[in-house]
Structure 1
Amino acid sequence: MDEVDGGRPRAGEMRAHAAAFVGRATARNRLPLDYSPASLRIVDFLIDGLRKGGADHERARGTLLGLGAYAGEVLVRRAGAVWVDFDDGQRAYFGQPVGVRMPDGRVWNPLGKVHNRLVSGAPEESLLRFYLTLHGRARRDRPAVA
């Protein structure tokens, strides 16, 4: 996957990052990573495992990118979002190079949400809760897109 700006991912690559993560995560385990909102519980569980295992951000960088890409791809496939490259101001605010834009125009930061969950482990940082309380979703959940 091609990366620019010192290794920062681009919006056009995030689906591939998510698919690669799913491939790695399910190679030896039967994790139900099917891009459904309910599968975000697994993401929470995996992040909590990293946290309890003492993973630091540098060692876990690829895994965290994969988890954030997966969470964002759930928003793309189920809530009508699209991946976007953040502009300079958004990168400064969110601390991430990419995010998702919802049908109502709001921009969200699933990569940052994964980071916050790892740092705090707090229930309010749950990726499932993030999805369920997200403003700007399409009115009805969309079926998964292959």
Structure 2
Amino acid sequence: MRPCARAFVARVTARNRLPLDYSVASLRVVDFLIDGLRKGGSDREDARGTLLALGAYVGEVLVRRAGAVWVDLDADQRAYFGQPVGVRMPDGRVWNPLGKVGNRFESGGPEESLQTFYLTLHGRARRALA
């Protein structure tokens, strides 16, 4: 997922100068990008590739800022999350950034904000990681 996030950031920031710097604050930009997809009339299938890349980006923020690591999910986790990969936090909890991005796209509501997701996330490392 890391290469997917890196390629997405390179592609998007080269054209638009979006502040996608893997910071917690940049998750607000992700919220706006997803909202723009919805308002632009994209359906989930049309937006699938972009949503995957945004999910990879969100996961990479968790890796870089919260001490998470990318993991391949086991069969039970795949069934529960509907995704093949997720992130494991320092305390052992597993989260689904790809699914969180999909939820934001589907609902569009502030309760699905990715920045709020990070800020209320259990299991983060106590100090910010570089």
Normalising by structure 1, report the TM-score: 0.87
Residues in 2 aligned to 1:99 and 1:55: alpha-carbon distance in whole angstroms = 25
Residues in 2 aligned to 1:24 and 1:141: alpha-carbon distance in whole angstroms = 26
Note the residue ranges of structure 2 that are not aligned, 5 or more in a row: none
Letter in 2 for 1:88: A
Residues in 2 aligned to 1:31 and 1:107: alpha-carbon distance in whole angstroms = 29
Note the residue ranges of structure 1 that are not aligned, 5 or more in a row: 1-13
**How much has 1:142 moved relative to structure 2?**
0.9
> Match for residue 24 of structure 2?
37
> Match for residue 120 of structure 1?
107
Letter in 2 for 1:120: S
Three-state SS of the structure 1 residue aligned to 2:25 is helix
> Match for residue 133 of structure 1?
120
1:63-142 matches, cutoff 5 A: 63-142=50-129
Letter in 2 for 1:110: P
Residues in 2 aligned to 1:58 and 1:85: alpha-carbon distance in whole angstroms = 24
Three-state SS of the structure 1 residue aligned to 2:38 is helix
Deviations 1:89-124 (A, max 9, x none): 111101111110000000000000000000001111
Residues in 1 aligned to 2:117 and 2:12: alpha-carbon distance in whole angstroms = 22
> Match for residue 15 of structure 2?
28
Three-state SS of the structure 2 residue aligned to 1:137 is coil
How well do the aligned residues superpose, as a CA RMSD in angstroms?
0.7
Normalising by structure 2, report the TM-score: 0.98
Residues in 2 aligned to 1:53 and 1:95: alpha-carbon distance in whole angstroms = 26
Residues in 1 aligned to 2:71 and 2:64: alpha-carbon distance in whole angstroms = 14
Is residue 54 of structure 1 aligned with residue 54 of structure 2? no
Moved over 3 A (4+): none
Letter in 2 for 1:45: F
